[in-house]
Structure 1
């Protein structure tokens, strides 16, 4: 029997809030990363054989743009 849990990400040592620990932002950022990756990675694989640079940019988008922007938007 497998136990499925909700992923919880914790970022400590940040100065964006008084308690210096972020839980909500990184967790929501991770979930947004997963959703974007499910869509963008297969698309990037299809584009890569024709336009290498564009395919790499599409596949890297969840890690370089989606996760940081969502994580930084939520200060908790």
Structure 2
């Protein structure tokens, strides 16, 4: 029995972007890019939110609305 941190694997089935109708690489890379972007942008967005509410919300939403979808679409498998 081994203990350790596993790599997150995300699977998206039912897509029409490839013949197998399942994507593994795109969603997994999208999640990892989302986590990195969120670690940077959420604290910055929280500080900006104090002074400019809508701008802070847009900064904090950026990983979910822009980063994840664009990285996920970049990989067809």
The reply to whether TM is greater than 0.5 is: yes
Q: What runs of 5+ residues in structure 2 fail to find an aligned partner?
A: none
Deviations 1:9-31 (A, max 9, x none): 00000000010000000000000
Aligned residue number for residue 14 of structure 1: 15
Q: What runs of 5+ residues in structure 1 fail to find an aligned partner?
A: none
Per the normalisation by structure 1, the TM-score is 0.96
Per the normalisation by structure 2, the TM-score is 0.95
For the aligned residue pairs, the C-alpha RMSD in angstroms reads 1.1
Q: Distance in 2 between matches of 1:26 and 1:32?
A: 10
Q: Distance in 2 between matches of 1:67 and 1:18?
A: 22
Q: How many residues align?
A: 76
Trace 1:19-34 onto structure 2 (pairs within 5 A).
19-34=20-35
Aligned residue number for residue 73 of structure 1: 74
Q: Distance in 1 between matches of 2:3 and 2:70?
A: 33
Q: Distance in 1 between matches of 2:75 and 2:50?
A: 37
1:40 and 2:41 correspond? yes
Aligned residue number for residue 50 of structure 1: 51
Runs of 4+ in structure 1 over 4 Å off: none
